[in-house]
């Protein structure tokens, strides 16, 4: 087995300049899955060049589609009949593959989807996905490592989620658009990626109202048509650049993102002492001096994103004062703290809280990525450490950050990818 790629990160560099984010990882994969709902060619623009896109390509091709990827454009040719069996290796490799569950149930009357893998950030059961489909008239169960859903006919229903799960909201939406009658989904996820999915579905002929609110109404239609859609900008990548600017005492302008999608994160940075300017499709973060400590707690949108929690910890680790970071979404996300301790952070985990006393500078060493966002967070931490930090298992980062090393270096960092 060969040596995995690593990043060598030189500490002490200040990020300065401008960068543009591509389409959102957390949206493009779900949009690709939604293309299963309509025969013909669906075109997605502004797609991020990340590892998960070709993985979803394999999933769709395994179901009978033809998929072309040309840079940031993805074309999906969906046949008149698609396979309902998504039980193969590509499906098991990443979490987003479960997004085919709703479309296949609606289109084929059956879905067999292998239980997915993905990031090691805690349990993400499919209970709400199954419960939502069952309320629409499907029967579901887990069998031989796959979730199975079957329905002779889907019928609109009143559905209330126990938690505003993004994945459950997506699968219920993509099933309900072809159900008979009206579905009312309460406590729906409100993330910008959900709004993006609804906008694409409506352009395909669906009738969805209330996207971006906690109550979404779906009036089922008989048939959808293929469409062309531009993927919403990636707010997590944009937020990563924002926190990187604050951590390194930098000055970074980020384009391709609506600032309202990062309202709370940018407000937190202002509290730390950063100067933040917002534009229609971008923002600028400038930090002069050492950031001040500020507490963060993760919550579903419009709360602070759990995907930016490692960046919040990185900032707290070198801020002046004491910060408390509270994780309310994924129970295993604090695995990242163990790696921060290697770098000299003064951090103590207490249940779903971590208390950090900021230090002047972190101390470079070897660290290991456990998931996409932890990997990016460790790179940012390496930028504010003395000497050279080596970040291992960087394939995780490649799943969510297109051209990460190139963009860092464009902003003045010194990061090298080594096999």
Q: What average pLDDT does range 228-248 have in this prediction?
A: 98
Check pLDDT > 90 for residue 333: no
Hey, which bits of 172-281 come out as E strands?
182-186, 207-209, 215-219, 228-230, 251-255, 275-279
Alpha helices (H) in 35-88, listed in sequence order: 52-62
Confidence at residue 117, expressed as pLDDT on a 0 to 100 scale: 60
Which of these is catalytic: 119, 251, 371, 393? 119
DSSP state of 233: B
Check pLDDT > 90 for residue 87: no
Q: What is the pLDDT of residues 206-217, one digit of tens each?
A: 999 999 999 999
25 is in an annotated binding site: yes
**Cα(114)–Cα(42) distance, rounded to whole angstroms?**
25
Check pLDDT > 90 for residue 223: yes
**Cα(231)–Cα(20) distance, rounded to whole angstroms?**
14
Confidence at residue 119, expressed as pLDDT on a 0 to 100 scale: 42
Check pLDDT > 90 for residue 407: yes
CA angle centred on 269, ends 398 and 236, rounded to 5°? 25
**Has 295 been annotated as catalytic?**
no
**Cα(22)–Cα(236) distance, rounded to whole angstroms?**
11
Confidence at residue 204, expressed as pLDDT on a 0 to 100 scale: 98
Confidence at residue 330, expressed as pLDDT on a 0 to 100 scale: 76
Check pLDDT > 70 for residue 1: no
Contacts of 102 (CB under 8 A, 6+ apart): 33, 111, 129, 133, 170, 171, 172, 173, 174, 175
DSSP state of 353: E
**Cα(62)–Cα(307) distance, rounded to whole angstroms?**
29
Confidence tier at 419 by pLDDT (50, 70, 90)? confident
Contacts of 390 (CB under 8 A, 6+ apart): 6, 7, 8, 9, 365, 366, 367
Q: Specify which residues 395 forms β-bridges with.
A: none
**CATH superfamily placement of domain 25-230:** Enolpyruvate transferase domain (3.65.10.10)
Confidence at residue 249, expressed as pLDDT on a 0 to 100 scale: 98
260 is in an annotated binding site: no
Confidence at residue 3, expressed as pLDDT on a 0 to 100 scale: 60
- Six-digit token pair at 158? 């009143």
**Cα(367)–Cα(338) distance, rounded to whole angstroms?**
9
Q: What average pLDDT does range 318-330 have in this prediction?
A: 94
26 is in an annotated binding site: yes
Alpha helices (H) in 9-148, listed in sequence order: 25-34, 52-62, 89-92, 101-108, 127-135
Q: Which of 245-254, 331-340, 350-359 has the lowest mean pLDDT?
A: 331-340
**Cα(58)–Cα(53) distance, rounded to whole angstroms?**
9
DSSP string across 207-218:
EEE-TTSSEEEE
Confidence at residue 4, expressed as pLDDT on a 0 to 100 scale: 84
SS3 category, 356: strand
**Cα(379)–Cα(11) distance, rounded to whole angstroms?**
10
From 3.90.1720.10, 3.40.50.720, 2.30.30.90, 3.65.10.10, which CATH number describes the 6-21+233-418 domain? Answer: 3.65.10.10
139 is in an annotated binding site: no
Burial 38-76 (b: 16+ CB within 10 A, else e): bbebbbbebbbebbbbebbbbbbebbebebebeebebbb
Q: What average pLDDT does range 185-193 have in this prediction?
A: 98
Q: What average pLDDT does range 2-19 have in this prediction?
A: 91
| Residue closest to 332 by CA, chosen among 348, 349, 311 | 349
Contact (CB, 8 A) for 377 and 312: no
Q: What is the pLDDT of residues 93-109, one digit of tens each?
A: 888 889 999 999 999 99
Q: What is the pLDDT of residues 34-58, one digit of tens each?
A: 999 999 999 999 999 999 999 999 9
**Cα(55)–Cα(47) distance, rounded to whole angstroms?**
14
SS3 category, 265: helix
Where do the domains of the chain lie?
6-21+233-418, 25-230
| Residue closest to 340 by CA, chosen among 353, 349, 328, 331 | 349
Contacts of 249 (CB under 8 A, 6+ apart): 14, 287, 288, 289, 290
Check pLDDT > 80 for residue 287: yes
Q: What is the pLDDT of residues 111-150, one digit of tens each?
A: 999 987 644 434 457 899 999 999 999 999 999 889 999 9
DSSP state of 329: S
Q: What average pLDDT does range 65-77 have in this prediction?
A: 98
Q: What is the pLDDT of residues 250-274, one digit of tens each?
A: 999 999 999 999 999 999 999 999 9
- Six-digit token pair at 83? 């396979």
Contacts of 191 (CB under 8 A, 6+ apart): 26, 166, 300, 301
């Amino acid at each position: 087995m060969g040596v995995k790629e690593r990043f060598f990160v030189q500490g002490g560099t200040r990020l300065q300049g401008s960068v543009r984010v591509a389409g959102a990882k957390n949206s493009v994969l779900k949009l690709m899955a939604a293309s299963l709902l309509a025969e013909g060619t669906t075109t997605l623009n502004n797609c991020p060049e990340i590892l998960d896109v070709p993985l979803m390509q394999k999933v769709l091709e395994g179901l009978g589609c033809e998929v072309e990827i040309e840079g940031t454009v993805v074309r999906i040719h969906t046949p008149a009949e698609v396979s309902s069996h998504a039980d193969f290796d590509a499906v098991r490799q990443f979490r987003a593959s479960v997004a085919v569950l709703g479309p296949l149930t609606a289109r084929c009357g059956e879905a067999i989807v292998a239980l997915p893998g993905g990031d090691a950030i805690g349990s993400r059961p499919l209970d709400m996905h199954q419960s939502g489909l069952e309320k629409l008239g499907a029967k579901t169960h887990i069998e031989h490592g796959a979730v199975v859903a079957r329905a002779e006919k889907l019928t609109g229903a009143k559905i209330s989620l126990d938690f505003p799960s993004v994945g459950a909201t997506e699968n219920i939406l993509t099933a309900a658009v072809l159900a008979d009658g009206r579905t009312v989904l309460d406590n729906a996820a409100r993330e910008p990626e959900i709004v993006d999915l609804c906008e694409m579905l409506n352009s395909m002929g669906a009738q969805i109202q209330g996207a971006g609110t906690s109550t979404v109404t779906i009036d089922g239609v008989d048939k959808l048509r293929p469409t062309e859609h531009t993927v919403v900008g990636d707010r997590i990548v944009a937020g990563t650049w924002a926190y990187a600017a604050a951590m390194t005492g930098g000055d970074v302008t980020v384009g391709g993102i609506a600032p309202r999608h990062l309202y709370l994160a940018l407000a937190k940075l202002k509290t730390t002492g950063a100067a933040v300017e917002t534009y229609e499709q971008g923002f600028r973060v400038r930090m002069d001096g050492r950031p001040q400590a500020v507490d963060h707690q993760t919550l579903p949108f419009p709360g602070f994103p759990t995907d930016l929690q490692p960046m919040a910890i990185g900032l707290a680790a070198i801020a002046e004062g004491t910060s408390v970071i509270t994780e309310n979404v994924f129970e295993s996300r604090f695995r990242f703290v163990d790696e921060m301790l290697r770098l000299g952070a003064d951090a103590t985990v207490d249940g779903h809280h971590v208390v950090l006393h900021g230090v002047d500078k972190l101390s470079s060493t070897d660290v290991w990525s456990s998931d996409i966002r932890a990997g990016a967070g460790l790179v940012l931490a390496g930028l504010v450490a003395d000497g050279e930090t080596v970040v291992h298992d960087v394939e995780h980062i490649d799943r969510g950050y297109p051209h990460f090393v190139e963009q860092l270096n464009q902003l003045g960092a010194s990061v090298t990818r080594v096999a």
